[in-house]
Structure formats: structure tokens, C-alpha cells
Structure 1
Amino acid sequence: MERYIDLQEITDGKTYGENDMVRVGCNGCKGCSACCEGMDDTIILDPLDVYRLAGHLACTFDEMIGRHVELHVQGGLILPSLKMDEQTGKCTFLGSDGRCTVHLYRPGFCRIFPLGRYYEDGDYTYILQIHECPMPNKTKVKVKRWIDTPEPARNRAFINTWHGLQKELQARINAAGDDVTARNLNLFFLRVFYRDPYDQERDFYDQFEERMEEMERLLR
């Protein structure tokens, strides 16, 4: 989720790459699940997140809606986010033992926390959000180990493409200024990247590129 605030207020003033060491190690979050509670609609899901979760849960995106996922509008664009339990305010994937029940398949936002991404000139670096994780005595961990995501180069290319697409769609929706355009773009966007099931036997990034081509044909 994008936030427009002074980075000096929320970070240690540094930026990090995948091979840098950063103080985020927290002993496996032992006895703590603070980042899995009260997050409202801030854990936005991208297509890779949905691919992972749908494969693990053996369900479709539509079947996740209402139970684990909810939709919200950001800059005119409809995006899915993890749903918090209405009674407890906790993530619906948080077990009774305070542990994540989908840890191996957790969304990208959860993987990088308490890191964030700082986008600039078509690429990004990582920032450490110093007020987000309450665990004391953190240890240094290499960023790429912390993120725990295979094929880092392909993942970076995907994230940059996805970020650029969202910005373009938000700009088009806001420039059009009418509900019909917003509705049609959002319906197409949700179908292409979320609602149409991904083939779990095929590489995700190949499928994403195919869907990007479909989206680009509409935007021409």
C-alpha cells in the first residue's frame, strides 16, 4: 500500500537492496502476532499472492472473497486485500496459536514486513519502517533471505510492471472522471488478473505476461 509521508519520519534514513543486511530478524516472531492484527485493508494482494494462496487452498479467487479477502478502492482502482476478522480484528489466516496458517504461501507484503518498497524511476529499493514491528533486539538478516522469494530478478520485473500498471490505470480512471469508464476498467482488470483462475501447473510469470498482453490490448 502506498503512503505519502516523510520517509525520515518512518525509516532509518537508508535504502536497501536484496544483498544488504538489515536489522529485521525477530526470533521467528516468537510470542508475537502484532503485524497480523488490526491491519484493516492495508495488506493488498497482487496476482502472485492470489496464485500462491489459490494453489495452497485449492480454491478460486471468488471463493476467497468474503472469507479471507475483501475488495476496496485505492485511487479509483479496485484492489483485493487480506480480510481481518470482524470480531477480533485479526487476519483470518492467523491460527489460535498466534501463528500464520499459510506462512509458506503468505502475501508479498507479509514477506517483506517491516520493510517497505520505495519506488523511483521505474524501480524500487527497500526501506526499513522503524515504528512497525514492536519486537526488541532484532538481528541483521540479508534482505533476500528475509523476503524468501525464488527467482528474485523475475520477481522484481513483475513487481515493477505491476506497480506501473496500477499507476496507469489509476491515472486513466481519474482522467476520465466518469463512473462507466471506472466500472468497465475495474471489471476487466479484476477478471484478467484475479478472477480468471491461474493454472497451478504452469509458471506464474509466464501467465502474468500473457495477461499483461491482454490488458495492454485494451489500453491501446
Structure 2
Amino acid sequence: MRREVSMEEISDGKLYEANDMVKADCHDCEGCHDCCTGMGDSVVLDPLDVFRLCAGLGKTAEELVSLGYIQFDAADGNILPHLCMRGREESCVFLNGEGRCSIHGFRPGFCRLFPLGRYYENGGFRYFLQIHECKKTNRSKIKVKKWIDTPELKKYEKFVADWHYFLLDVQEVLYQAEDGELIKNLNLYVVNRFYMKAYEKNEDFYAQFYTRLEEGRKLLSLAKE
């Protein structure tokens, strides 16, 4: 999701790589779940997030929607899913009665990253520390890749970047399109092809994703003609 603020306002002024140390470790968030409440529709999910949720919960993408776990809305011009919030505190739907994450082992990338963010440039990205987001004041330094806690990190980072820039290409077509039917069909294509169509659980997610991404890029090329 795009931010309409400067890096100086929200970060410590540094950009980090996966092997860098960053002051992000909040020691298992003991006694705190502020980042799991009041997030609105900001916890946007990528295809791997939904794949993990489906596998971890034993549900289909359709069931995640029907059960009120995720919801599709417009985000920077694209129709994308986000985690649902509920109750007076607008708590994450997966926050349990003890104030802990009930899906921690397969939590979305947004949650793994927090309080870090991503600064995209030159077809890739680096990380930055959001200095106003986490209320914990006793955070200690931890290696970025350990904090993110994601297997096959290089593959994951490439996937994140490729998905981000693909969505930017989709936005470009959407913003320039004058045909309402094209806008509708393109949004439906992204939703159905990358999120709702099930990925095979026993096969490599990334291989399946890149097959779909190549199809999507070809479709965008035709849409630009």
C-alpha cells in the first residue's frame, strides 16, 4: 500500500538489507497486541498470504471470505484482500481471547514485517523501520531476516517485489482504461487467478505463482495494445 508521507517522517532514516541488524525485536510482544487492533483495511494480503491461510486453517479462499476472515476491497486502484477486524476495538479476527495471534505460525507477511516497512526502488526493495508504529519502547536489535521469520527468504523477497511491480503495471492499465468492462474484467482476473483459484498444497507455491504471473503479464501486454 502506498504512503503519502516522506521517509523522514516515518523512519529512522536508514534502509536495511536482510542481513542487517535493526531495532525491531519487541520480545514476543509480551502483554501487548496494539498492532492487532484498529488496523482497518491496512493488512493487505498477497497471494502467498492467502495460500498460507488456506493451508493453515484447512479452508478454501471462498470459505475465508464467507467466514469473515478476509474481505476484498479497493487498494490503490487494485481489488485486493485484507484481514478483517471486528468488535469495538476493531481487533484482528485472528486475535484470541488472551490477546495472542491464533495464526502466528502462518501469519501474513504484513504481520511478520511489522514494525518494518518496505521501500521499493529499481525493481526491488529494502526495509525501513517505522518509528511511530510500535508502542514498545524496549525493543532490541535483531537481524532483519530473523525477525521476518520466512523460509526461503530470497525466493520470498523476489516474489514480493515481482508481485508489487505487477500490481503497479495493473494500476497503470486501470488508470488509463476508458472501457469500464476492461477495468472490471482485469480486476476480476487478478482476484480469481491469483487468490480464489486454489494452489496445489503439495506443490511449490512459487512455481505455481510464476506460471500465473507470466499469464498475467501477457494479458497486460494485450490490454496495453
TM-score above 0.5: yes
1:134-153 matched pairs, under 5 angstroms:
134-153=135-154
Matched, 1:216 2:224: no
1:160-171 matched pairs, under 5 angstroms:
160-171=161-172
Residues 73-92 of structure 1: per-residue CA shift (max 9 Å, x gap): 12321010000014430000
1:87-98 matched pairs, under 5 angstroms:
87-98=88-99
Equivalent pair of 1:76/1:182 in contact (CA under 8 Å): no
Q: Which residue of 2 aligns with 1:10?
A: 10
What amino acid is the match of 1:53? L
What amino acid is the match of 2:185? N
Q: CA deviation at 1:215?
A: 1.3
What amino acid is the match of 2:86? D
Q: CA deviation at 1:218?
A: 1.8
Q: CA deviation at 1:179?
A: 2.2
What amino acid is the match of 2:173? R
Q: Which residue of 2 aligns with 1:50?
A: 50
Matched, 1:188 2:189: yes
- Supply the RMSD in Å over aligned alpha carbons: 1.1
Runs of 4+ in structure 1 off by over 4 angstroms are none
Helix, strand or coil: the match of 1:124?
strand
Structure 1 residues 47-56 or 63-72, which shifts more? 63-72
Helix, strand or coil: the match of 1:65?
helix
Where structure 2 has 5 or more consecutive residues not aligned to the other structure, the ranges are none
- Measure, in 1, the Cα distance between the counterparts of 2:47 and 2:61: 10
- Measure, in 2, the Cα distance between the counterparts of 1:178 and 1:33: 44
What amino acid is the match of 2:17? G
Q: Which residue of 2 aligns with 1:27?
A: 27
Q: CA deviation at 1:26?
A: 1.1
- Measure, in 1, the Cα distance between the counterparts of 2:201 and 2:88: 33
